[in-house]
Amino acid sequence: MAEERWSPVPDYAGWYEASNWGRVYSLPRAAAAGGLLHPKLNSRGYYQVGLCKYGRVTQVLVGRIVLATFRGPCPPGKRVRYGPRGPADNSLENLRWG
């Protein structure tokens, strides 16, 4: 696997960063609680995290966060597609818009 790289999450720069390995880090929580978010499995079998900004929490799929961070916004009519390792693997190499 490639070296882990971190980049700011679009619309949440200064709040969250995502890695190409499929991890999400909270910058405001970094000093207090370690900062690494622990994704929860939703009812459809996909991992999601709650991103909070100005007191408003939005549940977002980890795959969508990683793709938006490293590949840009979702093209119209597309969604997250998972590779052969399925939705349990949110690494960039297992994801694409499709």
Confidence band, pLDDT 50/70/90 cuts, at residue 35: confident
* pLDDT beyond 70 at 33: no
Residue 31 has pLDDT above 80, yes or no: no
Residue range 53-72, pLDDT digits in tens: 899 999 999 999 999 999 99
- Confidence band, pLDDT 50/70/90 cuts, at residue 1: low
Residue 29, domain member (yes or no): yes
Domain total in the chain: 1
Task: State the pLDDT at residue 32.
Answer: 60
Residue-wise pLDDT for 4-13, tens only, equals 999 999 999 9
What residue numbers bound the domain in which 83 lies?
6-97
CATH number of the structural domain spanning residue 14: 3.90.75.20
Task: For residue 1, tell me if it sits in a domain.
Answer: no
Count other C-beta atoms under 10 Å from residue 83's C-beta: 12
CA distance 81 to 67: 10
